[in-house]
A and B are shown apart, each in its own frame.
Chain A
C-alpha cells in the first residue's frame, strides 16, 4: 500500500490527513492524482490545483516522477515557513 499524506490547507479542504492507495506498479505522480480523483470525486478541484507540491519519500519531486508501491507520497500547498 502507498501512503498519501496531506498537509496544511489541502488537509483541511479534503477533511483528511492520510489515505492509502493500492498501486500494482510504478505510477507517475499525475496518474496517482487521477486515481485519487476517481476514488474521491469531491476532491477534484483541490487535487488538480497546479500549484500543489509533491514529495516522494520526503523529497520534493515534479509531477513526472514515478512512484513505487511502497513509497511515502505527500501532497501539499506551496510552503510558507521562515
Chain B
C-alpha cells in the first residue's frame, strides 16, 4: 500500500536504513521522504542525564499515534507514514522515536513530520523518567511543546 500507516511501540531498537527502504518500497509516485529520529540526550532541564526509562499506556499509545497520522493525512497529500516509539530502558544516544513520511513534494513531507512530532509530544501517553547524576526524576512537560501546536 502506497498510503499505509505503520505504527510501532516497542522495546527493541529500530534500523533507520530498513525503515527508509520500507517507506520507499515499490513506490514511484512519491519523490520526497522526510525522516526524523529523536535520541537520548545527556543534558535536560538542568540535569546531567545518564539514561532514561520510558513508560506508556499500552493500547492508548498506538491509538493516539494512529489518530495523529490520520490527521496528518487529512491535512497534506501524503504517501506512507511510519511512527516508531521505544519504551523501556534506554542509554545515552540511543534512538527513542522515528517519524518517516513520504509525499510527492518536500513541503508536505516536512510539514507532516513536524506536525506528527508536535502532536506526539502533547497527545501520546509516554512518560520519561531520567536517571541523572542526582538520582531519578520524572521529566517535566515543556510548555513550548504545547505552544508548538498553535502553528497548525
Q: Which residues of A contact B (CB under 8 A)?
A: 5, 7-9, 51, 55, 58-60, 74, 76-82
Summed over the interface, the residue pairs from A and B with CB atoms below 8 Å come to a total of: 71
Are A79 and B121 touching (Cβ within 8 A)?
Answer: yes
Are A79 and B60 touching (Cβ within 8 A)?
Answer: no
> What's the Cα separation between A73 and B41 when bound, in Å?
33
C-beta contact mask, B130-152 vs A, less than 8 Å → 1, else 0?
A: 00000000111110000000000
Are B127 and A79 touching (Cβ within 8 A)?
Answer: yes
Q: A82-B96, A82-B117 are in contact. Are A9 and B57 (CB under 8 A)?
A: no
Q: Which residues of A contact B142 (CB under 8 A)?
A: 80
Interface size range on B against A: 20 to 34
Are A76 and B121 touching (Cβ within 8 A)?
Answer: no
Are A81 and B57 touching (Cβ within 8 A)?
Answer: no
Are A81 and B128 touching (Cβ within 8 A)?
Answer: yes
> 5 tightest A-B contacts by CB?
A81-B126, A78-B141, A8-B127, A58-B60, A80-B139
Are B126 and A76 touching (Cβ within 8 A)?
Answer: no
Picked from A9, A55, A58, A74, the residue with its CB within 8 Å of the CB of B127 is: A9
Are B59 and A58 touching (Cβ within 8 A)?
Answer: yes
Q: Which residues of A contact B54 (CB under 8 A)?
A: 81
Closest-by-CB residue of B relative to A11 is B55
Identify which of residues 97-126 in chain B touch chain A, using a CB-to-CB cut-off of 8 Å. 97, 117, 120-126
Residue B88, interface by CB 8 Å: no
Closest-by-CB residue of A relative to B96 is A82
Closest-by-CB residue of A relative to B138 is A9
